Structures are given as structure tokens and as C-alpha cells.
């Protein structure tokens, strides 16, 4: 298949790339752009490890073809907070022990970020719903939910 | 394989008939098939994601949904919430928030899975599916597991839902291995109108219990004009097992599927007289 040119903004930086139009977006982010914070898990949109924001909405980047990210505004885990100052959601995840092996964490934080942007004081059910597309095999979710609650307080 | 981004529906007409055509909308099903090498090498892939087919509008007592409308957009729509609650229930149960932000109703229909969660609701609401060739009743659209009436290169454009007159209730139930991201083991949509406990109209459709979504005609006929009581419910619960043809597979068993559909019917009938 012939490569196509795509333009995209990732964490406020512009990129012009020549890619296979059906290359999974996560591979573009990790390999072509070099941002490896977004994790690749199941590759089928079922585990949520590869979640990032595409035009403000959480999506699983492993099942998005690169072509459909043309002209898109993308935010990955690297675009939330900075190396010097963690985002309040990241702080809360650390403080509450919501990170164990850490593989689901970038996706969990992106899903939580999308929730808290829409709803600054979510109920527990709303938190559970917002992270229902993100699997965690370590924590049992309790600490993640506590962390999102704590983050919502920090951000209010 | 050839990738073509289309700007108008017309561009799709210009294809060679012997190349398999795939339409790329939310890509949630396509990308999995692509990764598993299930897309033939001579395919033409039309990216339709930028076509102006993303809308929900009221038109002469019908609600019309553009094929590119995502399940997040459907789940949040006030008009649909008011008139078609079973479709809302189905839309908000599909996949996960991430999947619902991408997956489209046109894709769910075109993929033709008997477990497609939006389809039972489309059956009970008498939906019509409009393509680039013609308009089909939802019930006539599906021909087998992942088989539809669609010809190669025929595109789903919109879905029409007639607004019901009179007092109706509608329900959607489904069962999966977990709440999010599980393909349904079985599902049931029910549209019902009841006056003094007498059923004046009922439509039932079950998912994942046959080669297509199944309209439960025998059960509907039995229930029409009957008074809902424990005996009637119990008889209907047996009859609905004749309407459906579930199998045992890696997702569930024939017996579980029969029993859960039968249980959902009871739930629907009890809710209707509450």
C-alpha cells in the first residue's frame, strides 16, 4: 500500500509524516514520533492501555488507522503534566498507590482526565463507567477509583 | 490493497466490480480484521469517515440517524432518549467509552453480526436502513452470520426510526462476560404497549441467539391482547425458546442463552405493568 502524508498535532507539537494509511495510530506515536508513554496491550481495543485523546475524546489508538489521525489534535500521557510538575491526576495516582506494574496507568490517567474535564465531581459509578474500557490486572481498581476521587478534589 | 479517502458518496460508484470493497468509518471492526490478515489483498478501502453522514434529525415524524453517527453521540441524544430508550440502552452498553467514541451505527449494521447490540432495538422500532441503492426494513437486512443484503460497494447512508404514536415502553437487556467490552452472549429488545394490563402491541427481537438477530413472532402473537399475569408470563417464557435458535459456542451455552432470554422477557413484561 502506498504511503500517504499526514499532519497531526501531538501534545501541541506539529508533525508531518509519510505513513502507511492503515498503520495503527499507536505505532505512529511510539515509532515515528518516539513517544513511548502510550502502551500497547491487546492490540484489539479491549484493554485500553493505548488510550489517548483524539480531538478531545478518549479512544484506543491500536485500532485507529493512521490516515484517520490526519489533521487531528492528539494528547498522550506525555502531554498531561510535565516532567517538572506532575498533573494532579498523576499525583493522586502516586499518592493513593494506584500504580503497581504501571502498564495500564497511562491509559487509566487519560480516561480519568477525559472524565474530569467533562465532570469535575464525578460519582463513583461515573468513575467506574469512565474507566470501564481500561483493564488493570494488579490493583483491583479500588485504589484507582480512590485516586480519581482525590484528583477531582485537587482539581476543583 | 488500495486506500482511498472519499469526499462524496458519488466517488464510491467508480469501482471495479471484482475488487472487494471495505468502508472505513470508526474502524473498530476493520482494524482487527486487517491485523488478522482477513482483508483480501485486492481490496479497495474507502475511508468514508469525512462524509457528511453524521447527524440525528427529526423529519416528518421520523428520527433520521446518519450512518456515521457514533454510539457516544446516540447515547447522549435527547430526541432519541425521549422516543427510543431501548436504542439508548443498547448504544450506551456497547464496548467501552473509547469504542463508543469511534464505532458508528452504520458499522454495527454493516458488519452484520447476530450479536450487534444496536440491531434488536432497530427491529422493534421498525427501523429502515437506507443505502446508496435502496431502503430496506431492518428485519429484511440480515441474511446470516456477518451476511447482509448489501452488495459489494453498497453503502449504508442513514437509519430511519418512525416516532411511535400512543403510549409505549421499551427495554433492552443484554448479558456478557463482563459489563464493558464483552460481545453479548444474548440480548433482548422489547417494545410494548399495555392498557389495563392488556397487551395492545408488542414487538420482541433477540440478539446472539441465531444466525441473525431474531424477531420473536410466535411470542408476539401469543402475547397480543392477553392480560399480563403469572400464567401468561410463564407460557410466554416457554414460547420464546421456540422463536430463538441459540447454539453452544466459546461464549456461552444453548441452555444459558435460552434461559436468559426467557428471564429477560419476564423482566420486560413485569416492568410493563409496574
Residue B169's pLDDT is what? 97
CATH number at residue A118: 1.10.150.120
Residue B16's pLDDT is what? 67
What are the tens digits of pLDDT across the range A3-46?
A: 999 999 999 999 999 999 999 999 999 999 999 999 999 999 99
Residue A83 falls within a domain, yes or no? no
Q: Do B47 and A57 touch (CB under 8 A)?
A: no
Residue A135 falls within a domain, yes or no? yes
Q: Which of A1, A24, A132 sits opposite B31 (nearest CB)?
A: A24
Residue A82 falls within a domain, yes or no? no
Q: In a 3-state reduction of DSSP, which class is residue B41?
A: coil
Same domain, A54 and A111: no
Same domain, A92 and A136: yes
Q: Which residue of chain A has the CA closest to B178?
A: A132
Residue A121 falls within a domain, yes or no? yes
Domain-ending residue, one of A18, A51, A77: A77
- Chain B residues within 8 A of A60 when measuring between CB atoms: 96, 98-99, 102
Low-confidence ranges of chain B (pLDDT < 50): none
Q: Do A64 and B35 touch (CB under 8 A)?
A: no
Half-sphere exposure (Cβ direction) of B270: Cα atoms closer than 13 Å: 10
> Residues near B133 by Cβ (< 8 Å), separated by ≥ 6?
B151, B154
Same domain, A59 and A97: no
Low-confidence ranges of chain A (pLDDT < 50): none
Q: Which residue of chain A has the CA closest to B27?
A: A64
- Chain B residues within 8 A of A4 when measuring between CB atoms: 3
Residue B67's pLDDT is what? 98
Residue A26 falls within a domain, yes or no? yes
B33 in reach of chain A (CB within 8 A) = no
Same domain, A59 and A100: no
Same domain, A99 and A71: no
Same domain, A97 and A69: no
CA distance A104 to chain B (A): 15
Which ipTM did the prediction report? 0.97
Same domain, A61 and A104: no
Residue B177's pLDDT is what? 84
CATH number at residue A41: 3.10.20.30
- Tell me the C-alpha distance between A150 and B232, whole Å: 51
Q: How many structural domains comprise chain A?
A: 2
Residue B178's pLDDT is what? 80
Residue B13's pLDDT is what? 76
Q: Which domain holds residue A98?
A: 88-155
What are the tens digits of pLDDT across the range B226-249?
A: 999 999 999 999 999 999 999 898
CA distance B75 to chain A (A): 14
Amino acid at each position: 500500500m502506498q504511503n500517504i502524508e499526514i499532519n497531526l498535532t501531538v501534545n501541541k507539537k506539529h508533525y508531518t509524516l509519510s505513513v502507511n494509511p492503515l498503520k495503527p495510530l499507536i505505532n505512529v506515536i511510539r515509532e515515528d514520533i518516539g513517544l513511548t508513554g502510550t502502551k500497547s496491550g491487546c492490540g484489539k481495543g479491549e484493554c485500553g492501555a493505548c488510550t489517548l485523546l483524539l480531538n478531545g475524546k478518549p479512544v484506543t489508538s491500536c485500532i485507529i488507522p493512521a490516515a484517520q489521525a490526519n489533521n487531528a489534535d492528539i494528547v498522550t500521557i506525555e502531554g498531561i503534566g510535565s516532567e517538572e510538575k506532575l498533573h494532579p491526576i498523576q499525583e493522586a495516582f502516586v499518592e493513593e498507590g494506584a500504580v503497581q506494574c504501571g502498564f495500564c496507568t497511562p491509559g487509566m490517567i487519560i480516561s480519568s482526565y477525559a472524565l474530569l474535564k467533562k465532570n469535575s465531581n464525578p460519582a463513583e459509578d461515573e468513575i467506574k463507567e469512565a474507566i470501564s474500557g481500561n483493564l488493570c490486572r494488579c490493583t483491583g481498581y479500588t485504589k484507582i477509583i480512590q485516586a480519581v476521587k482525590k484528583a477531582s478534589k485537587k482539581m476543583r | 490493497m488500495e486506500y482511498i479517502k472519499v469526499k462524496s458518496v458519488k466517488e464510491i460508484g467508480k469501482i471495479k466490480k471484482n475488487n472487494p470493497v471495505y468502508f472505513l468509518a470508526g474502524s473498530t471492526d476493520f482494524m482487527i480484521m486487517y491485523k488478522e490478515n482477513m482483508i483480501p489483498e485486492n481490496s479497495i478501502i474507502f475511508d468514508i469517515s469525512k462524509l457528511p453522514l453524521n447527524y440525528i434529525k427529526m423529519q416528518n415524524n421520523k428520527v433520521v440517524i446518519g450512518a456515521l453517527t457514533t454510539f457516544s453521540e446516540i447515547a447522549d441524544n435527547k430526541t432519541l432518549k425521549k422516543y427510543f430508550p431501548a436504542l439508548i440502552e443498547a448504544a450506551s452498553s456497547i464496548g467501552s467509552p473509547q469504542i463508543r467514541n469511534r464505532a458508528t451505527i452504520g458499522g454495527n449494521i454493516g458488519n452484520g453480526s447476530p450479536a450487534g447490540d444496536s440491531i434488536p432495538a432497530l427491529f422493534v422500532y421498525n427501523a429502515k436502513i437506507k443505502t446508496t441503492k435502496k431502503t430496506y426494513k431492518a428485519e429484511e437486512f440480515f441474511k446470516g452470520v456477518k451476511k447482509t443484503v448489501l452488495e459489494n460497494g453498497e453503502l449504508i447512508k442513514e437509519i430511519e426510526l418512525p416516532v411511535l404514536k400512543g403510549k409505549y415502553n421499551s427495554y433492552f437487556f443484554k448479558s456478557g462476560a463482563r459489563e464493558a467490552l464483552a460481545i453479548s452472549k444474548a440480548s433482548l429488545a422489547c417494545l410494548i404497549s399495555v392498557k389495563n394490563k392488556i397487551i395492545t402491541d408488542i414487538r420482541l427481537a433477540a440478539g446472539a441467539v441465531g444466525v441473525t438477530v431474531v424477531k420473536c413472532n410466535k411470542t408476539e402473537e401469543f402475547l397480543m391482547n392477553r392480560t399480563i399475569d403469572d400464567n401468561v408470563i410463564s407460557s410466554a417464557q416457554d414460547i420464546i425458546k421456540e422463536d430463538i435458535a441459540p447454539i453452544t459456542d466459546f461464549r456461552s451455552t444453548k441452555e444459558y442463552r435460552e434461559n436468559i432470554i426467557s428471564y429477560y422477557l419476564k423482566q420486560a413484561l413485569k416492568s410493563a405493568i409496574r
